[in-house]
Amino acid sequence: MLRTVLGTDLWIDQKSRQAFNLDTVLLADFIKVPAKTKTLFDFGTGAGALMLYMSKKTKAKITGVEIQEDRYRQALKNIELNQLNHQLSCLHQDVKMLDEKNIDVIISNPPFFKVSEKSNVNDHEDDTIARHEVMLSLNELLKTVSQTLKFGGHFFMIHRPDRFAEIVDAMNTYQLEIKRIRFVHPYLNTPPNHVLIEAIKNGQSGMRVEPPLILYYEKHILTKELVDIYGGRAYVTKRT
């Protein structure tokens, strides 16, 4: 299925079960790539949507890492489709086995659910790996980020608010200082269902909590900010 990468002039070819979702769009909008970034890695890139978005934000070399062969091959296809081979590439491997050091920026839309959450396990193996911590736990992810990120490097991810305390604990363990967070709420008077996080390896203490992102005024009626995000507000200005 060929579709546009929302808010950009790029295209993505994906199978129905590989379709990127709102998580990807929100994380891509939230990420602020430092100006001097030379290397950016996307851990668990899937079909490559987040990498494609980042190509609109930075001239850095962008590398996706994907353990599932089918999704890895789809990511390669999408890099070729958009003629971005000069900037984007993809590795078919387990991020825990990554032989890299001193990466400037790491981004990730990781599996949200613990394997013990049986009610949420998908029938399809590829979905299960993408959404559940079968191949990569939260602790393993953050340990790997810390091992491969340079001193002062930036890490961005999206996750579940009900695991925020666990995230904070693990980040403290691996010297990842949370600098910026934003909670995402479906509606004004409902609890958040996502949290966007920026951390810096060995960063100084001091965390900024941004105003909440509200997605809908009411059912099927998007807030102005979500309309702007879908419209590509983060990609309007050309890279310099």
Whole-number Å distance between alpha carbons of 203 and 44: 24
Q: Sign of the C-alpha dihedral, residues 168, 174, 178, 184?
A: negative
Q: Tell me the pLDDT tens digit for each residue of 159-173.
A: 999 999 999 999 999
Tokens found for residue 184: 């995402």
| Cross-strand bridge partners of residue 221 | 218
Check pLDDT > 50 for residue 182: yes
Residue 237: the pLDDT is: 57
In a domain, 240, yes or no: no
CATH of residue 95: 3.40.50.150
Domain that holds residue 95: 2-235
Collapsing DSSP to helix, strand or coil, 6 comes out as: coil
240 pLDDT above the threshold of 90: no
Relative orientation angle of helices 138-148 and 164-173, to the nearest 10 degrees: 40
pTM (global) more than 0.85: yes
Strands 176-185 and 88-92, by their bridges, are unpaired
Inside any domain, residue 45: yes
For residue 231, the model assigns a pLDDT of 96
pLDDT value of residue 132: 42
How many folded domains does the chain comprise? 1
65-94 residue pLDDT tens: 999 999 999 999 999 999 999 999 999 999
